[in-house]
Amino acid sequence: MKETIKKITAIVETLQIELAKAAEGNKAAAARARKATLELEKLGKEFRKQSVAEMK
């Protein structure tokens, strides 16, 4: 689960950078931000599974 948390943290940091660039009108950064949100969604689901498994 620690590895998943590290991955989530890294993607969130990247997403913040890309969102800032996208807000300035950078279309490529907007595309990278969209991709990062998809990765974040997948990792969120993985974290949920791992978290529930550890609680049992």
Range of the domain at 47: 2-55
Given a contact cutoff of 8 angstroms between Cβ atoms, the answer to whether 6 and 50 are in contact is no
Q: Taking phi first (over 0 means left), then psi (-120 to 50 degrees means alpha), and beta for anything else, what does residue 48 get?
A: alpha
Task: For residues 28 and 15, give the distance between their C-alpha atoms in angstroms, rounded to a whole number.
Answer: 13
The per-residue pLDDT for 56 is 79
pLDDT digits (tens, 9 = 90+) for 8-29: 999 999 999 999 999 999 999 9
Rounded CA-CA distance 37/16 in Å is 11
The pLDDT of residue 45: 96
Residue of 19, 14, 41 lying closest to 30 (CA atoms): 19
**Domain count within the chain:** 1
Tokens 């997948």 map to which residue?
42
